[in-house]
Amino acid sequence: MPRPGSRSSSHRDGGPVEAAGYVAEVIGDLIQIAHVHRLEMLCYLLDMARMEATEIGRKRRSRKE
């Protein structure tokens, strides 16, 4: 997986809306792992980050329309 900001020709930056969506998706996976291991505070913090990423994507998407 290319690092964010890398210049890989196979990876194109889709912009902030796509980045926020991707971050929210990855955080969702991390929440599942933390939940399995009963890491409640980590689940909470990750969920807050996921909500923030989702909100950023929503706000920027609505500005485009």
In order of 47, 48, 51, 54, the CA distances from 32 in angstroms are 10, 14, 15, 17
Compute the distance between CA of residue 23 and CA of residue 40 in angstroms, rounded to an integer: 20
- How much is the pTM? 0.74
Structure tokens at 55: 């909100």
21 within 8 A of 57, measured Cβ to Cβ? yes
- What value does the mean pLDDT take over residues 45-57? 97
Give the pLDDT score at 7: 45
Query: Of how many residues is the chain composed?
Result: 65
Domain range summary for the chain, segments of one domain joined by +: 38-65
Interval 7-23: pLDDT, tens: 443 356 789 999 999 99
